[in-house]
Chain A
Amino acid sequence: MQDNKSNLLEHEVRAEIDRWVAKYPPEHKQSAVLSALHLAQDQNGGWISQDLLDAVADYLDMPRIAVYEVATFYTMFDLKPVGKHKIGLCTNISCQLQGSDKIADHLKTCLGVDFGCTTNDGQFTLREVECLGACRNGPVMHLDKTYHENLTPEKIDEILAAVEDQA
């Protein structure tokens, strides 16, 4: 018998999951798994630890393996520690035609890391992502949960400076 890890989810997180669970029929608690994983990820500073995956499974009465399946399926979930901020730059065709290659190079230079890496100071994780669905305003990237469109190298400098000011 495994220990129930539900309590690892913060009280407010559990309350918020309950709100999502209430939207579905009672026998389909597992429908709230995506929302629950997002909440768990936010609670933990941007990534979901093994214990929190188990906690979500236990809280929603799901087999743990089923939660692992969901969490590994979607790229929005990070299962290893990441930087404080996540940057995802679209490199699909529309953005590419609008010069996303140049933006990519600029971002890599500014941050000093390649795609898929985290800066040494732990501030940023840079990633290449598929279409973000904002093609008309390419190149597009997301910084955490905010979209930034019509990117230019100068605009990137501003965005990064603003984040660093905040810190």
Chain B
Amino acid sequence: MDKFNIEIDGKTIEADPGSMLIEAADNNGIHIPRFCYHKKLSVAANCRMCLVEVEKAPKPLPACATPVTAGMIVRTRSKKALEAQRAVMEFLLINHPLDCPICDQGGECELQDVAMGYGKDLSRYTEGKRTVKDKNIGPLISTEMTRCIQCTRCVRFGEEVAGFREMGGMNRGEHLEIGTYLDHNLQSEVSGNIIDLCPVGALTSKPFRFKARAWELQQRPSIAPHDALGSNINVHLRRGEVMRVVPRDNESINETWLSDRDRFAYTGLNSDDRLMQPMIKRKGVWETVDWSLALEQAAIGLKEIINLEGADELAALASTQSTLEELYLLQKIMRCLGSPHVDHRVRQIDFSCQDAMPLFPGLYQSIEQIEHADQILILGSNIHHDMPLLALRIRKAQVHGAKVHAINPLPFTYHFDVQHDCVCDPQDMIILLMGIAAALNISLGVEASISDTAKAIATDLQSGKRVTILLGVLVEHHPQSSLIRHLAKLIADQCLGQVGLLTEGPNAAGAWLAGMVPHRQAAGKKANKMGQDAAQLCETPKKGYVLFNLEPLDIGQTNVMQTLKAAKFVIALTSFKQADLLDVADVILPIAPFTETVGTFVNLTGLWQSFTAVSKPFGEVRPGWKVLRVLGNLLELPGFDYEDAFAIRDELKAQVDAFTPDAPAPLPAITKPSAQEGLVRVGHWPIYRGDPLVRRAQPLQDSGLNGSVAAFVHPALAVRLKLTVGQHVIVQQSHAHIQLPLQVDERLPMNVVYIPAGYSETAILADYAAVILGAAT
């Protein structure tokens, strides 16, 4: 239907049929006060603050629940409207404490603002006010429920957006209270959004509580450094110190939301572990030194390895938390020194499809398009924890009627309906996929049996018009990652769908583009000299290593500690002190985390998002790109005279724009998987264990979402092994053994042992590898 005209406050504006009055007003910059209305939530119309006068209507109408009609004449500031608004305001303030100076929301409170604009300056109410006991809902959100005006935004957010209702309205009438009924930590991975949604001081940020006033804060834009979405954020600072992080609206990425990981990880910035000064190890003892000495030592160490052992004995590993500029300079240094051994895929085991990779891994469609998919197959991802806001898009698709299927080696909880939730061992995942492919009449060249589940999923996928297959980190780490990718590709092609790769960290795409892989240089050019991949670099020791933004427990490879210990010279560029790093490194150079450096992250849609430093570096800390630039100069390498970080980005951008990479090589042939024998350990980095910064964010660690550090097995397996819950068991792999308490989960496959990664206790275990469990004596 065509737009039509309505008149608000004497101004003629165009409105979409079916839209509400408040939307039309908002779109045209006419402000109507509101509390319960929110553009991303359903209309509740329970606060009545948005009452306006509509011509020919006998009473004022709520603008949030009144659909526009052609020729409507609306007055938002007429005598009648103002009287209604003033009356509502008076009612709302009857039970609300009038003590804004001691309220954490004071200064950024919607109720305060609206009361200033629409209320009276005196209260006529002399009776006692209602009080409500505060609830404990965990380490992230503080409650002061007496301040609640029952707009129900937090309740609707849980139900409609997060898909996971934890807040509700208890009791009724005068006694109505918003809460969780039973005190418990909120389990939602996006719970922090209710802080933003709450129009009053009832729900506020616990880590930020009483730390600063809104008017003391400076706001600087940045990019969230934890997942590949690259959520847009605003960092709030007081006198140069990061006080909190809030979302910055970007409809095409994070909409108006933010995951708790992106919101609260800043609390790790001030960790006691923060490195302030460069350090070198002399005769096994760490000494704090100045930059010139530390850099000199680093350069001497690298040169020595080259002179005595050859450049081939040098390797560099980096994390995807590093910026594009840092990764580009690091690989440039290594390649200029003559070493092709650079990699960022530190948790990957199977590299056989690396030549078949496109220019960079990603979604290959926009994030918004996920909402419009009608069949979604999730392979190997705890989607809510790995990419919280992408999961919200999938939820939207599901609510609109899409069918979602999941195939995982571990059981996960979904906050949307999953048609087929298949939990099977790593080999059975492949067999199931082959079955789906066979059911879709794809010729695989090998025999494949079609199970009922495979047939059902295939039928659903075939009926889809917009099929999306998402490959998560559990596929990336899978020993037959390439095979799974190939099968996913075949299935997607058959259904005219799309495969998306959900990578870890904020900048995996950037790492590929920057040439932080052993087989390709920057911009995807074929490497002149083929280097070794992360698995080989960790398995067979080199003499010298550069670790960038990596702690050994971020690396998912077998033997990594032994390898690093065996090396002659290890430089670690990192923001935090960590026991394993102190153990293996010889030089530690403190580099700035994302808030203190300028850089670029490339998100999973290939969007380059640059950000600048929002605060000054701590102590002697320097931005990583500057450290690498100086190191390049000290090593007398050509082309390290950048004026600023943007010059690095632009140099790489020019290369990417100018170079057309060859078509990716075909994926390796399909082979029949061998059956799983014995028990297999499957690991996963829990939601708040994935990178050094988030591991140091105490409120997130206390939230309980990480789960416990234990060996999880199927209860029947525990019985068969004569083990009991809580008992300490010995977890044995070919090269290592550790002790962990035993836990059971009846949704686990019979031969899978889940042991979380990302903890120093479990770091020694290999992922997707055979394991033996036995009672500890």
Residues of A at the B interface (CB closer than 8 Å) are 1, 50, 63, 65-66, 68-69, 72-73
> Does B182 make an interface contact (CB < 8 A)?
yes
Output the least CB separation between A103 and chain B (Å).
26
**Nearest chain A residue, comparing its CB with the CB of B168:** A65
Residues of B within 8 A of A65 (CB): 165-168, 180-181
Output the least CB separation between B629 and chain A (Å).
49
Are A66 and B172 neighbours in the complex by a CB distance under 8 Å? no
Output the least CB separation between B705 and chain A (Å).
13
Are B182 and A1 neighbours in the complex by a CB distance under 8 Å? no
List of 3 A-B pairs having minimum Cβ-Cβ separation, nearest first: A65-B168, A63-B165, A68-B181
Within 8 A of A (CB), among B145-199: 159, 164-172, 180-182
> Does B411 make an interface contact (CB < 8 A)?
yes
Residues of A within 8 A of B413 (CB): 1
Are A73 and B172 neighbours in the complex by a CB distance under 8 Å? yes
Are A66 and B170 neighbours in the complex by a CB distance under 8 Å? no
- How far does the alpha carbon of A66 sit from the alpha carbon of B170 in the complex, in Å? 9
Residues of B within 8 A of A72 (CB): 170-172, 181
Are B411 and A66 neighbours in the complex by a CB distance under 8 Å? no
Interface residues as binary, B313-348 with A (CB distance below 8 Å gives 1, 0 otherwise): 000000000000000000000000000000000000
Output the least CB separation between B344 and chain A (Å).
33
> Does B130 make an interface contact (CB < 8 A)?
no
Residues of A within 8 A of B170 (CB): 68-69, 72-73
Are B165 and A66 neighbours in the complex by a CB distance under 8 Å? yes
Residues of B within 8 A of A69 (CB): 168-170
Number of A-B contacts (CB under 8 A): 30
User: Which of A50, A65, A72, A73 has the most B CB atoms < 10 Å from its CB?
Assistant: A65
Output the least CB separation between B133 and chain A (Å).
14
Residues of A within 8 A of B159 (CB): 63
- How far does the alpha carbon of A50 sit from the alpha carbon of B411 in the complex, in Å? 27
- How far does the alpha carbon of A61 sit from the alpha carbon of B411 in the complex, in Å? 19
Output the least CB separation between B227 and chain A (Å).
23
> Does B40 make an interface contact (CB < 8 A)?
no
- How far does the alpha carbon of A63 sit from the alpha carbon of B167 in the complex, in Å? 10
Residues of A within 8 A of B169 (CB): 69
- How far does the alpha carbon of A50 sit from the alpha carbon of B167 in the complex, in Å? 17
Are A1 and B411 neighbours in the complex by a CB distance under 8 Å? yes
> Does B120 make an interface contact (CB < 8 A)?
no
- How far does the alpha carbon of A135 sit from the alpha carbon of B279 in the complex, in Å? 86
Enumerate 13 A-B pairs (CB-CB under 8 Å) in ascending A order: A1-B411, A1-B413, A50-B182, A63-B159, A63-B165, A65-B165, A65-B181, A66-B165, A68-B182, A69-B168, A69-B170, A72-B170, A72-B181
- Chain B interface size, as a band, is 10 to 19
**Nearest chain A residue, comparing its CB with the CB of B164:** A63
Output the least CB separation between A110 and chain B (Å).
30
Residues of B within 8 A of A50 (CB): 182
> Does B129 make an interface contact (CB < 8 A)?
no
- How far does the alpha carbon of A66 sit from the alpha carbon of B155 in the complex, in Å? 10
Other than the given A1-B747, A63-B165, A68-B182, 12 more pairs (CB < 8 A) read A1-B411, A1-B745, A65-B165, A65-B166, A65-B167, A65-B168, A66-B165, A68-B170, A68-B181, A72-B171, A72-B181, A73-B170
Contact of A68 among B164, B168, B172, B745 (CB under 8 A): B168
- How far does the alpha carbon of A72 sit from the alpha carbon of B179 in the complex, in Å? 12
User: Which of B159, B171, B172, B181 has the most A CB atoms < 10 Å from its CB?
Assistant: B181
Output the least CB separation between B148 and chain A (Å).
15
**Nearest chain A residue, comparing its CB with the CB of B173:** A73
Residues of B within 8 A of A73 (CB): 170-172
- How far does the alpha carbon of A72 sit from the alpha carbon of B171 in the complex, in Å? 5
- How far does the alpha carbon of A66 sit from the alpha carbon of B180 in the complex, in Å? 10
Output the least CB separation between B415 and chain A (Å).
10
Residues of A within 8 A of B165 (CB): 63, 65-66
**Nearest chain B residue, comparing its CB with the CB of A1:** B413
- How far does the alpha carbon of A63 sit from the alpha carbon of B159 in the complex, in Å? 9
- How far does the alpha carbon of A1 sit from the alpha carbon of B382 in the complex, in Å? 13
Interface residues as binary, B703-743 with A (CB distance below 8 Å gives 1, 0 otherwise): 00000000000000000000000000000000000000000
Residues of B within 8 A of A1 (CB): 411, 413, 745, 747
- How far does the alpha carbon of A72 sit from the alpha carbon of B181 in the complex, in Å? 9
Residues of A within 8 A of B171 (CB): 72-73
- How far does the alpha carbon of A50 sit from the alpha carbon of B171 in the complex, in Å? 16
- How far does the alpha carbon of A125 sit from the alpha carbon of B138 in the complex, in Å? 36
Interface residues as binary, B665-689 with A (CB distance below 8 Å gives 1, 0 otherwise): 0000000000000000000000000
Output the least CB separation between A48 and chain B (Å).
13
- How far does the alpha carbon of A68 sit from the alpha carbon of B170 in the complex, in Å? 7
Output the least CB separation between B704 and chain A (Å).
13
**Nearest chain A residue, comparing its CB with the CB of B167:** A65
Output the least CB separation between B266 and chain A (Å).
30
Residues of A within 8 A of B411 (CB): 1
Output the least CB separation between B382 and chain A (Å).
12
- How far does the alpha carbon of A137 sit from the alpha carbon of B571 in the complex, in Å? 91
**Nearest chain B residue, comparing its CB with the CB of A3:** B746
Output the least CB separation between B165 and chain A (Å).
4
**Nearest chain B residue, comparing its CB with the CB of A50:** B182
Output the least CB separation between A7 and chain B (Å).
14
Output the least CB separation between B587 and chain A (Å).
45
Output the least CB separation between B615 and chain A (Å).
40
Residues of A within 8 A of B168 (CB): 65-66, 68-69
Residues of A within 8 A of B164 (CB): 63
**Nearest chain B residue, comparing its CB with the CB of A74:** B172
- How far does the alpha carbon of A66 sit from the alpha carbon of B156 in the complex, in Å? 12
- How far does the alpha carbon of A63 sit from the alpha carbon of B165 in the complex, in Å? 6
- How far does the alpha carbon of A161 sit from the alpha carbon of B765 in the complex, in Å? 73
- How far does the alpha carbon of A59 sit from the alpha carbon of B164 in the complex, in Å? 17
Output the least CB separation between B184 and chain A (Å).
10
**Nearest chain A residue, comparing its CB with the CB of B177:** A72
- How far does the alpha carbon of A38 sit from the alpha carbon of B391 in the complex, in Å? 37
- How far does the alpha carbon of A50 sit from the alpha carbon of B181 in the complex, in Å? 10
- How far does the alpha carbon of A65 sit from the alpha carbon of B168 in the complex, in Å? 6
Output the least CB separation between B370 and chain A (Å).
25
Residues of B within 8 A of A68 (CB): 168, 170, 181-182
- How far does the alpha carbon of A63 sit from the alpha carbon of B166 in the complex, in Å? 8
**Nearest chain A residue, comparing its CB with the CB of B163:** A63
Residues of A within 8 A of B167 (CB): 65
- How far does the alpha carbon of A66 sit from the alpha carbon of B747 in the complex, in Å? 26
Output the least CB separation between B253 and chain A (Å).
29
Residues of A within 8 A of B180 (CB): 65
Residues of A within 8 A of B172 (CB): 72-73
Output the least CB separation between B606 and chain A (Å).
36
- How far does the alpha carbon of A68 sit from the alpha carbon of B172 in the complex, in Å? 12
- How far does the alpha carbon of A116 sit from the alpha carbon of B164 in the complex, in Å? 36
Residues of B within 8 A of A63 (CB): 159, 164-165
- How far does the alpha carbon of A26 sit from the alpha carbon of B168 in the complex, in Å? 24
